[in-house]
């Protein structure tokens, strides 16, 4: 992602050529981006600053400016914070496991040890084509104590219990995204010049040493990219746990932050839900941005 970190500042005034063409190229995306990205963000912030007031018990509710009072409520909202804590715990475990798995498969695929690369690459990638809702329905049945083909196991170990269901969902997410992340890392590996490895191999390094001390550091940018997308995805978790609600009562309506937003907006308490959306978006932004910065700093040494 080096193109982003090197802004080319030009102080000199150069007359802009092809103004009309540039406008034509930019306009459609710019309009849509403004209408369906920037405006909603602005709107969410605006809505989050409103509170509902009633004149008496039966009076008509009206929305008035309430300052940051909704944010105070968000910070006091236990359901919201426990859902945030839950996805953070989820992310701390699931993201490294998934990326480690993806990295292992990518390295194996890139090594001379494996035959039938084409087949494996496709087989591992197929789950990415399965939507989260469908994957969750499928695994919901696979976890079920009586309908599962592995009922001998699932009838003894309750994978849908309150203590285990988070990790059962983690498995669904891992199943979907390992292949996708593997392919990103694998394409980065393919792009490395092979002379580097030849030299190491002549020096007597074996495949594992080459993988550990040459390949992994060189594909670090790709791993960072997959990590950022995984962090964003984790905080946004919605479809899989929402589907699991029809398989088990262990998943509450406020299981993840997005489910809390949805449940709160359905109450309806849109201002509070909007404030939660804003907090969530800012948190996601800060986390992925910080992660990007930290890893880039490390790479600069």
Partner 1 sequence: MSQISAGAPKEKLASRTAAMIVMGISTLYFLVPIWWLFVGSTKSRAQFSSTIGLWFADFNLWQNIHDLLAYNDGVYLRWMLNSILYAGFGALLGTLFAAMCGYALAKYRFPGRELIFNVVLGGVLVPATALALPLFLIFSQFNATNTFWSVFLPSLVSPFGVYLARIFASASVPDELLEAARLDGAGEVRTFFSVSRRLMTPALVTIFLFQFVAIWNNFFLPLIMLRDQTLFPVTLGLYTWNSQVNQIPEIRTLVIVGAFLSIIPLIIAFLSLQRFWRGGLGAGSVK
Q: Which of residues 57-96 bind partner 1 (CB under 8 A)?
A: none
**What are residue 60's phi and psi, to 5 degrees?**
-70, 135
> How far is residue 267's CA from residue 179's CA, in Å, rounded to a whole number?
38
Interface residue with partner 1 among 98, 99, 173, 224 (CB under 8 A) is 224
Burial letters for 125-150: b for 16+ Cβ neighbours within 10 Å, e otherwise? eebbeeebeebbbebbebbbeeebee
Cα dihedral value 131, 136, 138, 143, nearest 10: 160
Residues 229-258 that bind partner 1 (CB under 8 A): 232, 235-236, 238-239, 242-243, 245-246, 258
Helix or strand or coil: residue 275? Answer: helix
Residues 16-55 that bind partner 1 (CB under 8 A): 16-22, 24-26, 28-30, 32-33, 35-37, 39-41, 43-44, 47
The site map against partner 1 for 105-144 (x = CB under 8 A) is x--x--xxxxxx---x-xxxxxxxxxxxxxx-xxxxxx--
Helix or strand or coil: residue 10? Answer: coil
Residue at token pair 């170990």? 157
Give least dist CB 56 to partner 1, A: 27
> How far is residue 43's CA from residue 217's CA, in Å, rounded to a whole number?
43
Interface residue with partner 1 among 98, 165, 251, 270 (CB under 8 A) is 270
Residues 160-189 that bind partner 1 (CB under 8 A): 175, 178-179, 183-184, 186-188
Residues 280-299 that bind partner 1 (CB under 8 A): 280-281, 284-285, 288-289
Interface residue with partner 1 among 94, 168, 277, 295 (CB under 8 A) is 277
């Amino acid at each position: 992602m080096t193109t982003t970190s090197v802004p080319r500042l030009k102080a000199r005034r150069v007359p802009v050529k092809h103004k009309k063409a540039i406008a034509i190229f930019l306009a459609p995306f710019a309009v849509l981006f403004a209408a369906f990205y920037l405006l909603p963000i602005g709107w969410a912030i605006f809505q989050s600053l409103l509170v509902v007031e009633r004149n008496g018990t039966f009076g008509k509710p009206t929305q008035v400016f309430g300052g940051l009072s909704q944010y105070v409520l968000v910070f006091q909202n236990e359901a919201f914070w426990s859902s945030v804590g839950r996805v953070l715990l989820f992310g701390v475990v699931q993201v490294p496991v998934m990326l480690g798995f993806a990295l292992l498969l990518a390295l194996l695929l890139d090594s001379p040890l494996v035959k039938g690369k084409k087949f494996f690459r496709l087989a591992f990638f197929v789950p990415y084509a399965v939507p989260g809702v469908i994957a969750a329905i499928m695994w919901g049945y696979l976890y079920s104590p009586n309908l599962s083909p592995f009922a001998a196991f699932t009838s003894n170990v309750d994978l849908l219990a309150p203590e285990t269901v988070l990790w059962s969902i983690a498995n669904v997410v891992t199943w979907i995204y390992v292949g996708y992340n593997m392919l990103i890392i694998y394409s980065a590996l393919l792009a490395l010049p092979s002379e580097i490895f030849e030299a190491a191999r002549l020096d007597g390094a074996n495949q594992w040493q080459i993988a550990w001390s040459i390949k992994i550091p060189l594909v670090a940018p790709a791993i960072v990219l997959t990590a950022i997308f995984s962090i964003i995805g984790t905080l946004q978790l919605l479809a899989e746990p929402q589907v699991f609600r029809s398989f088990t009562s262990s998943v509450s309506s406020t299981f993840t932050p997005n489910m809390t937003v949805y449940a709160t907006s359905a109450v309806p308490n849109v201002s509070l839900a909007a404030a939660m959306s804003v907090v969530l978006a800012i948190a996601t932004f800060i986390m992925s941005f910080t992660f990007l910065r930290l890893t880039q700093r490390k790479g600069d040494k």
